[in-house]
Amino acid sequence: MRTCINTTFRFASGLLLLLHLYAGAASKPNILLIIPDDIQGYSLKPILEGKAEQVRDASYYHFYAHGTGLPEMVGIRTERYKLIHYPGMDAAYQFELFDLKNDSDEMTNQSGNPEFQEVVQRMKAGLKGLIADYEDPVELPNL
């Protein structure tokens, strides 16, 4: 039941964040919303005003539980690449790397391809950095 309540709270908090972003973009100072401290995000106002093309270089995600069918996964996505780490899987299946420019359907895992090892290491470093930035208490001994 705790997971359901937590998920509902996070969903509602996300909606509040979107409303806050809209209110900020619309420059309505009379709307005051309190965004919980554990909600991370960036204002889209600079993009909407044409002052920026993006608000971050990479996105972080962590899916904790998926019932019985899907494993826990932690990942980072940039404009070009996506690295997914499955901490509970056997070592040979713990990582997937996709080249989104050449494989937008994410059909070819490049994590074991020698030509992509520099990218894998760079993405792993980026993932570690985002985990630290967001203070996610996840334990990933193989990262």
**Nearest to residue 127, comparing CAs of 114, 140, 111, 112?**
140
Report the 10 Å Cβ neighbour count for 134.
13
Q: Which structural domain, as residue segments, surrounds residue 10?
A: 2-48
In the predicted model, what is the mean pLDDT of the chain?
A: 79
Are 129 and 65 in the same domain? Answer: yes
Are 25 and 83 in the same domain? Answer: no
Could you give the CA distance from residue 68 to residue 28 in angstroms, rounded to a whole number? Answer: 45
- Per-residue pLDDT for 15 more than 70? no
Are 73 and 36 in the same domain? Answer: no
Q: What's the pTM value of the predicted model, to 2 decimals? A: 0.70
The predicted-structure confidence for 58-91, as pLDDT tens digits, reads as follows 888 888 866 667 788 999 999 999 999 998 888 8
Are 73 and 110 in the same domain? Answer: yes
Fill in the amino acid letter for 89: M
Are 32 and 94 in the same domain? Answer: no
Are 89 and 115 in the same domain? Answer: yes
CATH number at residue 119: 3.30.1120.10
Q: Where are the alpha helices (DSSP H) in 1-135?
A: 2-25, 45-48, 117-133
Fill in the amino acid letter for 57: D
Query: Are 127 and 142 contacting, i.e. CB atoms less than 8 angstroms apart?
Result: no
The predicted-structure confidence for 107-140, as pLDDT tens digits, reads as follows 999 999 999 999 999 999 999 999 998 888 888 8
- For residue 21, give both structure tokens: 């972003």
**How far does CA 21 lie from the centroid of its chain?**
18
